[in-house]
Structure formats: structure tokens, C-alpha cells
């Protein structure tokens, strides 16, 4: 029983991290309805930029992290401006968006691999050496969990309280009505990309701190995050966050019943089931923000 509890707590911690990534993906997906796989490229870029600045150039850690924020945001915005917006102007089918997104992702994977090599890059520069999240390191895990949810709360607060956040929720609800009411769709999409991309930075710091960074990290994280958003339902950010938490717990607890390595199968089978049976997500329209 205590194994189950330990695993559940482990799942809570990992799930909290996924929740943060789910929110960063969800900010973009809910508003623009683009399945932005290239978000993985942004995640990876943030991770490698921090690594490069802190480990290779020797910058203070806090400065490296801070510097990564505008870089990530700018990359996300650049993808929207250079690729998605022209496609929208041409009324391109959603397949075209997806292919572009995929292309950008694999370009990034290729670049990371070429520049940094395929191995794992450790975030050795962080104050505590990377430790596996076991029962003995619970205090650190708690810290990570709190940090993740703090950023989730920030994102939700932004979307609820600010004027632009309101427009984002309007566009996420019905873009056509938003346009009729006079909301500037292009500008709202841009802000979504800026915000969602910036949020990858705290996420990737927490992730790489314990797992290290590989060229495929972005994709791996993104797959779970996007699965969570689809499973939760894309009406609100919290649906994705809670679904991500659930996925983290399910993944961890699955270790009791299945050999490790099968977790992916569990997570993505769940994703498939939800799409087939409840296309609007498990929470449907319950969460409005």
C-alpha cells in the first residue's frame, strides 16, 4: 500500500510538471485551434539556451533562465508570423498547419542533435544536483510542484483578469463571434503564442533539472502535454492541467501493475479512447478557464 502511495505522490509531482506544459500548450491550442507540435521545438530551444548560457558560457543561473524567456516567446511568435499567419490568409486546410508544425519540430530536433549531440545534457549548474524523485527527496519535489502550480495559477489569472486574456477566451470560444464583435484575431493569436511559449521556460527548467535534456525532450514532453489537453477538453486551461495531473498519477501508479516502459502505451491508449468516445474531452465544457 505504501508503494502505491509513494507512486501516487511521485505521480503528483510529475503530473504537476505536465500540468504546466499542458497549460503552455493549451494557451495556444485552445485559442488558435492549431495542434502546434512545433511547441516541442520551443521547449527544446528554451532548454538548450539555458544550458548553453549557464553551462557553456558560465552565466549566473537566474540570468540564463530570464534570458530564455524572451527567446522562447520570440520563437513562438516567429513561427506564428512566418508560417501560420500566411497559411491562414490563404485559407489553408488544417493539414497544412500540422505539416508545417511537424517540419519545424523535426528541424529543431535535427539542429539540437547536430549542435549538442544526441546525449543527455545535465543541468549541473542548478543549486541541487539532479536527483531522482524518490521518497527521500520529497522536499525538493514539493518545491517543484509548488513552482509548477504557481505558474499555472499565473496563466489562469492572466486569462481571467486582463483585457487581452478576455479576448483570448472569446476567441477560444467562438472565433467567428469574436471577429464580429471586433476582436483583433491576429493580435490575439500572437499574444497566445507569446504567452504559451514564455511558459515553456519554467517548465523546461523543472523538467531538465531532474531528467536532463536530449534533442527529443521537447517532443516527449509535448506529446504528454498535448494528450492531456485533448483528454481534458480544450475549453479551459484547467481541464488540461487537471488531466495532466491525472496522467502523471496514472503513469506512476501503472508501475504497480505493468513493467516500466508500458506507461506510454497506457497514456496514449487513454488518449485514443477519449478521442473516440468523448471527443470534447473528459471534462467537456465544465471548466471555463
Partner 1 sequence: MTNYLTQISIFISVYLLLAISQNLVLGFGGLFSIAQAALYGVGAYTAALLVLRLHAPFPLDLVGAFVLSCAIGAVLAGLLVRLRADLIIIATLALQLVFSAVFRNWNAVTGGSYGTYGIPRPTIFGAPLAGLAPFAVYAALVALVAFAAALAVARSPFGLAVRGQREDAVLAEALGHHAARERTLMFVLAAGIAGIGGAVYAQFVGYVDPSSFDVNQSLSIITIVVVGGLGNLWGTLGAAVILTFLPQLLLLIPATSNAAAQLQLLLYGVILVAIVRFWPNGLIPEQPSVRAPRRPRPVSVVNAAAEAQALDRLDAVAIERLASPAPTVRLENLAKSFGGVRAVAGVSFAIEPGCVTALIGPNGAGKTTLFNLTCGLLRPDEGRVFFGVRETTHAPQYEVARLGVTRTFQDVRIFPRLTALENLVFALSTAAYAPKGGLRERAFATLVSLGLDDHADEPADRLSYAQQKLLMMGIVFARADPIVFLDEIAAGLDHHSVHAFARLVRRLAASGRTVCLVEHNLGFVWEAADTVMVLDAGGIIATGPPAAIQADARVVEIYFGQGSTLVRP
Partner 2 sequence: MAKAVLSSVLDVGALHAGYGRGKTVLHGVDLHVAHGELALLMGHNGAGKTTLLRTIFGELRETAGDVRFLGEPLRGSSAERVRRGISYTAGGRAVFAGLTVEENLAIAASVVETDARRVAERRALVLDVFPQLGERLRAVAGGLSGGQQRMLAVSMAVMQEPRLLLLDEPSLGLAPVLVERLYRSIAEIRRRLGLAVLVVEQTINPAMLAADHVSVLRMGVVVFRGGEDALHDSERLWSML
Give the footprint of partner 2 on this chain (CB under 8 A): 163, 166-167, 169-170, 173-174, 176-185, 235, 285, 288
Q: How far is the CB of 117 from partner 1 (least distance, A)?
A: 8
What is the rounded end-to-end Cα distance, in angstroms, of the chain? 36
Q: How far is the CB of 149 from partner 1 (least distance, A)?
A: 26
The phi and psi torsions of 54 (rounded to 5 degrees) equal -85, -45
Q: How far is the CB of 243 from partner 1 (least distance, A)?
A: 14
Our CB check for partner 1 shows the closer of 130 and 212 to be 212
Residue 131 touches which of partner 1, partner 2, none (Cβ within 5-8 Å per kind): none
Q: How far is the CB of 197 from partner 2 (least distance, A)?
A: 24
Residue 98 touches which of partner 1, partner 2, none (Cβ within 5-8 Å per kind): partner 1
Our CB check for partner 2 shows the closer of 92 and 250 to be 92
Our CB check for partner 1 shows the closer of 104 and 238 to be 104
Residue 14: count of CB within 10 angstroms of its CB? 26
Residue 156 touches which of partner 2, partner 1, none (Cβ within 5-8 Å per kind): none
Residue 8 touches which of partner 2, partner 1, none (Cβ within 5-8 Å per kind): none
Residue 184 touches which of partner 2, partner 1, none (Cβ within 5-8 Å per kind): partner 2
Residue 180 touches which of partner 2, partner 1, none (Cβ within 5-8 Å per kind): partner 2
Q: How far is the CB of 182 from partner 2 (least distance, A)?
A: 3
Q: Which residues contact 17 (CB under 8 A, 6 or more apart)?
A: 144, 145, 148, 203, 206, 207, 248
Handedness of CA 175, 177, 179, 183 (dihedral sign): negative
Q: Which residues contact 156 (CB under 8 A, 6 or more apart)?
A: 23, 237, 238, 289
Cell of 220: 516527449
Q: How far is the CB of 227 from partner 1 (least distance, A)?
A: 7
Classify burial at 242, counting beta carbons within 10 Å of its beta carbon; exposed 0-12, middle 13-18, buried 19 or more: buried
Handedness of CA 140, 142, 145, 151 (dihedral sign): negative
Residue ranges in contact with partner 1 by CB under 8 A: 33, 35, 83, 86-87, 90, 92, 94-96, 98-100, 102-114, 117-118, 215, 219, 223, 226-227, 230, 259, 261-265, 268-269, 271-272, 275-276, 279
Residue 3 touches which of partner 1, partner 2, none (Cβ within 5-8 Å per kind): none
Cell of 32: 488558435
Our CB check for partner 2 shows the closer of 66 and 184 to be 184
Amino acid at each position: 500500500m505504501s508503494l502505491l502511495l509513494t507512486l501516487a505522490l511521485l505521480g503528483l509531482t510529475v503530473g504537476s510538471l505536465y500540468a504546466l506544459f499542458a497549460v503552455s500548450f493549451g494557451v495556444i491550442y485552445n485559442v488558435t485551434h492549431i495542434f502546434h507540435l512545433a511547441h516541442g521545438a520551443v521547449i527544446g530551444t528554451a532548454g538548450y539556451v539555458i544550458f548553453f548560457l549557464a553551462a557553456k558560457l558560465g552565466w549566473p543561473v537566474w540570468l540564463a533562465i530570464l534570458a530564455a524567456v524572451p527567446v522562447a516567446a520570440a520563437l513562438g511568435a516567429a513561427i506564428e508570423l512566418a508560417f501560420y499567419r500566411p497559411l491562414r490568409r490563404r485559407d489553408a486546410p488544417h493539414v497544412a498547419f500540422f505539416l508545417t508544425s511537424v517540419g519545424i519540430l523535426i528541424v529543431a530536433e535535427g539542429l539540437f542533435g547536430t549542435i549538442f549531440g544526441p546525449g543527455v545534457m545535465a543541468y549541473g549548474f542548478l543549486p541541487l544536483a539532479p536527483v531522482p524523485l524518490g521518497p527521500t527527496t520529497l522536499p525538493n519535489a514539493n518545491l517543484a510542484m509548488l513552482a509548477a502550480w504557481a505558474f499555472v495559477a499565473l496563466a489562469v489569472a492572466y486569462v481571467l483578469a486582463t483585457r487581452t486574456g478576455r479576448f483570448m477566451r472569446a476567441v477560444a470560444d467562438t472565433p467567428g463571434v469574436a471577429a464580429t464583435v471586433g476582436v483583433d484575431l491576429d493580435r490575439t493569436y500572437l499574444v497566445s503564442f507569446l504567452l504559451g511559449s514564455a511558459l515553456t521556460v519554467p517548465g523546461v527548467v523543472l523538467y531538465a533539472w531532474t531528467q536532463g535534456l536530449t534533442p527529443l525532450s521537447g517532443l516527449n514532453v509535448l506529446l504528454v502535454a498535448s494528450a492531456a489537453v485533448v483528454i481534458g477538453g480544450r475549453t479551459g486551461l484547467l481541464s488540461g492541467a487537471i488531466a495532466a495531473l491525472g496522467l502523471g498519477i496514472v503513469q506512476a501508479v501503472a508501475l504497480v501493475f505493468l513493467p516500466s516502459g508500458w506507461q506510454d502505451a497506457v497514456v496514449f491508449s487513454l488518449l485514443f479512447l477519449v478521442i473516440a468516445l468523448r471527443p470534447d474531452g473528459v471534462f467537456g465544457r465544465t471548466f471555463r478557464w
